[in-house]
A and B are shown apart, each in its own frame.
Chain A
Amino acid sequence: EIVLTQSPGTLSLSPGERATLSCRASQSVSSSYLAWYQQKLGQAPRLLIYGASSRATGIPDRFSGSGSGTDFTLTISRLEPEDFVVYYCQQYGSSPWTFGQGTKVEIK
C-alpha cells in the first residue's frame, strides 16, 4: 500500500499570500495518478486537481498542482478567505487507493 505523507500538518498564512502544500509518496505513483481535494468544515470534500496537474471543472486558476514520482505539490497562488480549510491528496495509481492525512491552512 502506498503511504502518502502531507506536510506541513498546519500552514499559517495571511490572505493574499502563496500557499505551498506537499504530498510525498512512499513509492512512485504511476502515471502521476494523484488528486487533491478541499474540505470545508462540515462539508463533503471537493475535487480540485487530478492527474497531478489538471484542474477539475469550476476550480479557480489560483489552484495548481505539480509533481511526479513521489513528490507532489498543491499551490494556491493568492489565498482567499474561503481557502483557509483542509486539503487532502489521494493516489490512484496502485490499489488500494490511499489518502494523505491532510494539511490545514489557517489564518495567521
Chain B
Amino acid sequence: EVQLVQSGAEVKKSGESLKISCQGSGYTFPNYWIGWVRQMPGKGLEWMGIIYPGDSKTKHSPSFQGHVTISADKSISTAYLQWNSLQASDTAIYYCVRENNGYFDYWGQGALVTVSS
C-alpha cells in the first residue's frame, strides 16, 4: 500500500527556519516525482514544486521559487520542504504528493504550519 507520512504540526515565529518531511512507503521511492501543495486557511490548492528523488532534479512554481527549498534523501525515502526565514503568510497546511505523469495520485495527511508575527 502506497503511503506518504508527513511530520507533525509546527508553530514558529516570523524569521525562524523550518524543515518539514514526508516519508514514502509501499512503492519505489526514487522512481516517482514527489511534490508539495499549499493550502492557506480556507483557501484552495497551490502547487509549489516537485523533486525527483532518483537524481534530485527539481521544478518549482515561479510563485515559490527562491522562498522554499525542496530536497530529498532517497536512502530513507524522505522528501523535505524547507524555509530559511518564515513569514506570517506561510501559515498554511502543506501536503506532500506523489506525482504520476503530472497528476497527484497519493497525498500525505498534511502538516499545519503556523507562523506568528
**Which A residues are closer than 8 A to B by beta carbons?**
1, 33, 35, 37, 44-47, 50-51, 56, 88, 90, 92-93, 95-102
CA of A33 to CA of B102, assembled, Å: 8
Interface residues in B, total, Cβ within 8 A: 21
What's the nearest-Cβ distance from chain A to residue B55, in Å? 18
Inter-chain contact A46/B44, CB cutoff 8 Å: no
Q: Are B103 and A47 in contact (CB under 8 A)?
A: yes
Residues of B within 8 A of A33 (CB): 102-103
> B46 contacts which chain A residues (CB < 8 A)?
99
Interface centre among A44, A50, A51 (most CB of B within 10 A): A44
- Decide if the interface of chain A is mainly helix, strand, loop or mixed: loop
Chain B min CB distance to A29 (Å): 11
A35 in complex: contacting residue of B103, B106, B107, B109, CB < 8 Å: B103
Asked if B9 is at the interface of the complex by the 8 Å CB criterion, the answer is: no
Interface 0/1 of B92-117, CB less than 8 Å to A? 00010000111111111110000000
Q: A35-B104, A56-B105, A92-B103 in contact; A44/B110 too (CB < 8 A)?
A: yes
Inter-chain contact B103/A44, CB cutoff 8 Å: no
Contact check, B44 vs A97: say whether CB atoms are below 8 A apart.
no
Q: How far is the CA of A35 from the CA of B45 in the complex (A)?
A: 13
